[in-house]
Amino acid sequence: MKQVEHTNDERRMLQRVKHPFLVTLWGTFQDSKNLYMVMDFVEGGELFSLLRKSQRFPNPVAKFYAAEVTLALEYLHSQQIIYRDLKPENLLLDRHGHLKITDFGFAKEVPDITWTLCGTPDYLAPEVVSSKGYNKSVDWWSLGILIFEMLCGFTPFWDSGSPVKIYENILRGKIKYPPYMHPDAVDLLSQLITPDLTKRLGNLHGGSEDVKRHPWFAEVTWDRLLRKDIDAPYVPPVRAGMGDASQFDRYPEDHEPYGCTGEDPYADLFSEF
């Protein structure tokens, strides 16, 4: 029943949020076997794919994407929503190169604190790993991990072993910053990827403004970026017209049932679809 609750919560949250850097939910429907969510067609591919091809991003490129994510998190938190699954795989590029955050499967409306262990191991804050109550500040920790990954090509607590080893590294909290990383980036990350909630940017009195005012973001004109009035550093090679999915891996769908008819014993569980 938890999965039912999560699915209905995801639909409700997506229906409520409207922001330039979040996917838009246009509608939902169901047949006798499946649920469907109709969302933006974001044809530029995953940021994950671009990062793997590039190995790592130059400082200005990482800053552009981090700034758009910052604006999206700022909005979600204003709606009392914790995202909880920030990673390159969940960041899509539109045809002009701007980001849209997708996959709200772990997002949750939380006015104060929650205790659920969820998310992707590399990006989890220590208070999540240690099963302590946590708040929206876990998203700012994940932003720090994302920025580090964009600048370095790997996450700071990565381990080739098991998730348990990653959790141990997170709780140990030791990070090696490469010599090529800009000092302002190191300073920002040291204030985002900190286990001390009284020092973590985004969780202080100034909230998201503390993050936006950091020297690493000094060149960002936030209101212009929100209007997408700043050119993206990379424009995906999307073919003219509608429906080009060439920037994504191919997943055969011929075997997937669609428009199934017949008795649906679970229809009442998803009455809002």
Q: Which residues are catalytic?
A: 85
Cα(195)–Cα(157) distance, rounded to whole angstroms? Answer: 14
> Residue 59 is inside which H or E element, if any?
helix 59-78
Within a 10 A sphere around the Cβ of 16, how many other Cβ atoms? 11
DSSP 8-state class, residue 267: G
Residues composing the chain: 273
Contact 70, 212 (CB under 8 A): yes
Collapsed DSSP state (helix, strand, coil) of residue 140:
helix
Yes or no: say if 34 and 115 are a contact pair by the CB < 8 Å rule: no
109, 81 contact by CB (below 8 A): yes
